[in-house]
Amino acid sequence: MCRCPFGRLGDGCELDFLAPCKQRPDGIPSCGGEVTKSCECIQRCRLYVCGNKDFCGKGRMFSSNRGCYMRDGVPPDEQFSLIPEANETGVKYFEGYADSAKEVPRDEALFDKSSKTKSEPLNKCSDNCSGKGYCASWNKQTYSCRCYRGYAGSMCELEAPSCFLNCSGRGKCIDHFCHCKPPYFSIGCSRSTVYPKNNPSRPSPVGFKIYMYELNTQLAYELAYFVGWRAHDPIYIAYQKFMAQFLLSSVRTEDPLEASLFYVPAFMFSYSSNGGSGREHAKPLFDYIQRTWPYWNRTGGRDHFVWTPADHGACGWDASLSQLIRVSHFGMHTTHTTFFKDFGHRGHPDYGCYHPLKDVVAVPYDPKMVTFLANTQNATLEERFRNKKKLFFFSGAVRDDPAYAGSTRRVLDDLLRSWNDSEVNWSEAPAANYHLAFQEAKFCLAPYGYGWGMRLHQSILGGLPKAHSVLQPHATPQKRWCGASRSNPTGKSQQVSPQQKAERATLRQFGPEPYSNRCKFGWVDTVEQLRARTRLSLPCSALRGFCPAHCAGEAPPGGSANSHYVVLGQTGGDGRVQHLA
Task: Please give the DSSP secondary-structure letter assigned to residue 120.
Answer: E
Predicted confidence at residue 157, as pLDDT, reads 96
- Domain extents for the chain? 8-115, 369-486, 534-579
Residue 515 — pLDDT band, cuts 50, 70, 90?
very low
* CB distance 218 to 271 below 8 Å: no
d(CA 565, CA 277): 32
Residue 403 — pLDDT band, cuts 50, 70, 90?
confident
Does residue 552 surpass a pLDDT of 50? no
Predicted confidence at residue 480, as pLDDT, reads 38
Flag the least confident range among 278-287, 501-510, 562-571. 562-571
Q: CA dist 373 to 251, 351, 453, 476, Å? A: 30, 35, 18, 18
Taking residues 471-491, what's their average pLDDT?
A: 36
Helix, coil or strand: residue 16: strand
Taking residues 76-103, what's their average pLDDT?
A: 94
Higher model confidence: residue 565 or residue 472?
472
d(CA 162, CA 249): 20
Residues in CB range of 290: below 8 A, 6 or more apart: 296, 297, 301
d(CA 102, CA 414): 48
* CB distance 468 to 443 below 8 Å: yes
In sequence order, what E strands does 88-205 have?
Answer: 91-95, 102-103, 111-112, 117-120, 133-138, 142-147, 151-152, 158-159, 171-174, 177-180
Phi, psi of 561 (to 5 degrees): -65, -20
Taking residues 39-51, what's their average pLDDT?
A: 90
Taking residues 141-160, what's their average pLDDT?
A: 92
What tens digit of pLDDT does each residue of 321-332 get?
A: 888 999 998 877
Q: Within 10 A of 504 (CB to CB), how many other CB atoms are there?
A: 13
Q: Is the peptide bond before 183 cis (omega within 30 degrees of 0)?
A: yes
Higher model confidence: residue 214 or residue 517?
214
d(CA 466, CA 167): 43
* CB distance 260 to 209 below 8 Å: yes
Higher model confidence: residue 193 or residue 503?
193
* CB distance 113 to 56 below 8 Å: no
Q: Greatest CA separation found in the chain?
A: 85
The listed range with the strongest mean pLDDT (346-360, 469-483, 558-572) is 346-360
